[in-house]
Amino acid sequence: MDKVFLTGASGFVGKHVLIELLRHGYYVKVLIHFSPPEVPDEFKEQVLPIRGSLSDIGSFVNELRDCRYLIHTAAIYSFSPKRSQEIYLINVRGTASLLEAARICGVEKCVYTSSSATLGPASPFYPLDESSWDHFSDDTSEYHHSKLLAEQKALATQVDICSILPTTPVGPGDSGPTPTGKIIINFAKGLMFAVPTGGINLVAVEDVASAHVLALTKGVPGERYIVGAKNLTYAELWDILSELTGKRPALRKVPYRLVGLASFFESLLFKYTDHEPLVPKEGLQMSQKFMYADGSKATRDLGLTYSSVENAIQRALVWYKQHGYV
């Protein structure tokens, strides 16, 4: 079996990438910090947990030497101002060091997990494609800056690498939960009292995992692949959630200035703590924009087939209920 070194298997996307790799017959070395990921019994012989940290690549570099592929999904996803240095250390420097180690160890192909947020906002009528790059600005968070820098550095390294740009994954297993998961949970609880004015692209998390595995053999070095299935306004998303949950959708628009003021004071309050803001400034800004993307390149070049977003939301709801989130 071909060996794959995988980072971030404890994350929402990473755990699905791991299962997809195992289903395709790969032997997977999984970088872990604490406990190994849970896998079905039939796949346990295909998984080797490797203890280490992206802040210390030397702690596991020798484990890369017999791996044909590397998939790097790990990143610190945080809007906490206090974690800015840690975010840069792991997301940017850690990524660059990992890819240099992969080059030295002779890894044949690397796949890096970026984000469609690196594309920037679109218009309601023209989704963005892979040629678009967002601009650095003072308004973006350290996390957003780190993803932009990390992808640029990744594509400039001396290894065969392509990047996957998921839009907004939804589906089972979102134990975080992600910001979108929190929207689904709060809607199901009847706690969403207004609707943002912008738009979003959704995709089933299993499709994101499939794209990573397809990219190992079909991805072209230096290329980017958006993985996004369906563009929706938040009002349209509210209608879908209303139908699935039986809750009436909110009709009032989000009072941007009022919530923006709350976000500002909250950022001051949490500046010196590790707590995540309840109303992240960047999340607020993005909810007012149209984060539309065109995921057709992944279909053309990788052979990815998108599944139903509505079904993915339904499966997410079932999972949240089973695990006590709703």
pLDDT digits (tens, 9 = 90+) for 166-203: 999 999 999 989 989 999 999 999 988 888 889 999 99
Domain residue extents for the chain: 3-322
Tens digit of pLDDT for each residue in 142-163?
888 899 999 999 999 999 999 9
Residue 156 pLDDT: 94
Residue 248 pLDDT: 87
Residue 194 pLDDT: 82
Residue 123 pLDDT: 86
Does the pLDDT value for residue 275 go beyond 70?
no
Report, as an integer, the average pLDDT of 12-24: 98
Residue 55 pLDDT: 93
Residue 121 pLDDT: 87
Report, as an integer, the average pLDDT of 259-272: 55
Residue 280 pLDDT: 54
Tens digit of pLDDT for each residue in 284-321?
566 678 899 999 999 999 999 999 999 999 999 999 99
Residue 17 pLDDT: 98
Which CATH number describes the domain made up of 3-322?
Answer: 3.40.50.720
Give the residue among 141, 118, 119 at the shortest CA–CA distance from 129: 119
Residue 244 pLDDT: 97
Distance CA 161, CA 212 (A): 12
Tens digit of pLDDT for each residue in 69-90?
999 999 998 777 778 889 999 9
Give the residue among 193, 199, 187, 165 at the shortest CA–CA distance from 287: 199
